[in-house]
Chain A
Amino acid sequence: MSEPKKLHPISAVLNALKQLKEMIIPLVAFVVFGSRGSIGGNIILFAGIASIILVLAYGVISWFRYTYRIEENELRIEYGIIVRKKRYIPLERIQSLDLSEGILHRPFGLVKVRVETAGSGGEAEAVLTAVLKEEAIAINNILQDVKNIHAGHFENEEIPPKHEEILYKISGKELLMLASTSGGVGVVLSAVIAFISQFDELIPYEKLFKNIESFYVSGGILFISLLVFIGFFLAWVIAVISTMLKYANFTLKRVDDDFIISRGLLEKRQTTIPLKRVQAVRITENLIRQPLRYASVYIESAGGSGNKDESARVTILPFIKKNKIHDILQSHLEGFISGEVEPAPKRAFIRYCIRGWMMVVPVIIAMLFLLKIWGLLFLLLLPLSAFWSYLVYRDAGWRVDGSQLILTYRSIVKHTVFMSKNKIQSIDMKESYFQRKKNLSTIEATVKSGLGGTGGEVVDLEKADVIKIYSWYSKSVPAVEESPAIEKPEM
């Protein structure tokens, strides 16, 4: 396998498409805003065509210049159009090969291979945009051989068969419920609104509405609200369908010491997470799923590709009854125990309320100024915000179990974060002047996720509880049951 190989030619198209995707916003802006100026339409058309040709040429040339080979136990990739770049990745440093198939891949039996290394910088990672499936399997086999030799097995020795266990497979009913309760509607809606506002001036509202209005003069408002309703409904349907396509066939497997996740209908994706890279488990419940007792489970993993759109938070159970999570994960994630959490004390509730009101009161004042008497309607925000604060307050909590810390809190969705002591990078406890007066405290724990940190922060817990967590984490301060307040520094 030492001959330099090229990727499948289809990757020229993929390169071009990717480039086009990155250019689409400036391009559209250019066309839309440019057409308002005095520059002739021809020039813009010409510039548009020229840039598309350039992009296509870029795709072809970058495909032509990209070669890969396996040589001296290294994956050697050479690429670059003007500046020639070489990237050599030692095989034993490769953590996993993640395969995915897009729509363009499938007719040709191709896959996209992402080479994941343990490197914390996310530096030495590579993507083979399109190779034959057999080729990917061949690379993977070589990789496995090298790893086995590395692990002390000899080439002819019988390699123990892989232990494989399916932990979770999404059912049709679950998929449907997952899609219809996801927050994807918002995303589609905002995309539609952004799109419409971009093309505001291109849509001939007047022409469209002149005739219609004469029909519906009396029922105008009804008509518009019907339109809005249909719009919402369509957005929801699009969101549901796209979520279903994304999560169809979602399967979580454990193979040896890795979690392997595969999902997707049109675009198949496979992700590998070595268990030793798991930093924390996060359960989220949104407002609709929480009363139904359903949740999604994520894993925060260290390292990874360092790609911005592909965060280090990986979904492992997209939609699951909350009481089943423990049974599924318990035997695979060391020290993972779920249990009832200790809530925030009752006297903290008023502080949650005040924090909410501090956000809405300026809005109310502004509205009173702007809308005068109608602004009074915005006073309704006060009880609404109090209700929201109640939800936030109710979902705050903590629990310590042996070497595991659980923090629960609500941002928009409810988070439950499970962190084990030896993965927590640091712990903060915070107190403001007002918290000190009420004997309340804030606790924050940070774990590594991707190249940065994540974790949880719970506001206004009983101070004694926070001190308990703090001394649980500390290696020099013995854990105590009852602690007096922190000694007040002389001021």
Chain B
Amino acid sequence: MIFLPEKRISERALTVWRISGCINFLIVFLIAGGFIALSIIFKWPVWIIGAILVFLLIYGFLFIYLFPLMRWKRWRYEVREQEIELQHGVFIVKRTLVPMIRVQHVDTQQGPILRKYELATVTVSTAATIHEIPALQLEEAEELRVFISRLARVADEDV
């Protein structure tokens, strides 16, 4: 039997993704607003304004509500003695297996929003690939980083 990775990422990640969804939406909203203004100035047919509004509504629902939720629900990870397993993806579910001995280095990084919510992104690099765990709690991310780098240092390299 093949197990699902167990750990979920922090629930605060959901809030962060919603916020960045909002920022994303704001930009689209401004562009759409521009189009609406144009269509009023040049007297385009009314249905164009309607279509833009409907589009905005759907876009907002998807990017602020649905996608972050689906993404959060799908995201799982697990760091074991010998390997890291990740699962993510909204439409295409992707599971990734990275053996500890292949890990070359681990980075944590924070943007302004993540910092406010005390979260961090962990990036695991092998010689050929880069894997990201978004939005872990800060202590957890730090722990993970130390843990992985210690394990990775123990494992002997043969590439």
Interface residue ranges, A against B (CB under 8 Å): 120, 279, 302, 422-433, 436, 446-449, 452-455, 467, 470-471, 473-477, 480, 483-484, 486-487, 489-491
Cβ–Cβ contact B89 & A302, under 8 A: no
A430, A453, A455, A475: which contacts B94 (Cβ < 8 A)?
Answer: A430
**SS class of chain B's interface: helix, strand, loop or mixed?**
mixed
Given contacts A433-B91, A475-B82, A476-B82, contact A426 B126 (CB under 8 A): yes
Residues of B40-96 whose CB lies within 8 A of A: 70, 73-74, 76, 80-83, 85, 89, 91-96
| Alpha-carbon gap, A340 to B99, bound state (A) | 28
Residue B127 at the A interface, CB < 8 A? Answer: yes
Cβ–Cβ contact A422 & B158, under 8 A: yes
Given contacts A476-B81, A480-B2, A487-B4, contact A426 B92 (CB under 8 A): no
| Alpha-carbon gap, A425 to B128, bound state (A) | 7
Given contacts A447-B128, A449-B128, A453-B128, contact A425 B98 (CB under 8 A): yes
- Residue from B93, B96, B98 having most chain A Cβ neighbours under 10 A: B93
Chain A minimum-CB-distance residue to B76: A489
Cβ–Cβ contact B128 & A489, under 8 A: no
Cβ–Cβ contact A474 & B83, under 8 A: yes
Interface residues on B, range: 20 to 34
Chain B minimum-CB-distance residue to A483: B2
Cβ–Cβ contact A430 & B89, under 8 A: yes
Q: Which residues of A contact B83 (CB under 8 A)?
A: 474-476
| Alpha-carbon gap, A477 to B1, bound state (A) | 8
Cβ–Cβ contact A475 & B99, under 8 A: yes
| Alpha-carbon gap, A484 to B76, bound state (A) | 20
Residue B30 at the A interface, CB < 8 A? Answer: no
Chain A minimum-CB-distance residue to B87: A489
Chain B minimum-CB-distance residue to A482: B1
| Alpha-carbon gap, A432 to B94, bound state (A) | 9
Cβ–Cβ contact A452 & B94, under 8 A: no
Chain B minimum-CB-distance residue to A490: B73
| Alpha-carbon gap, A65 to B126, bound state (A) | 40
Chain A minimum-CB-distance residue to B100: A475
| Alpha-carbon gap, A432 to B90, bound state (A) | 9
Given contacts A425-B129, A436-B93, A483-B1, 5 further A-B contacts (CB under 8 A): A279-B159, A428-B94, A448-B127, A453-B127, A455-B128
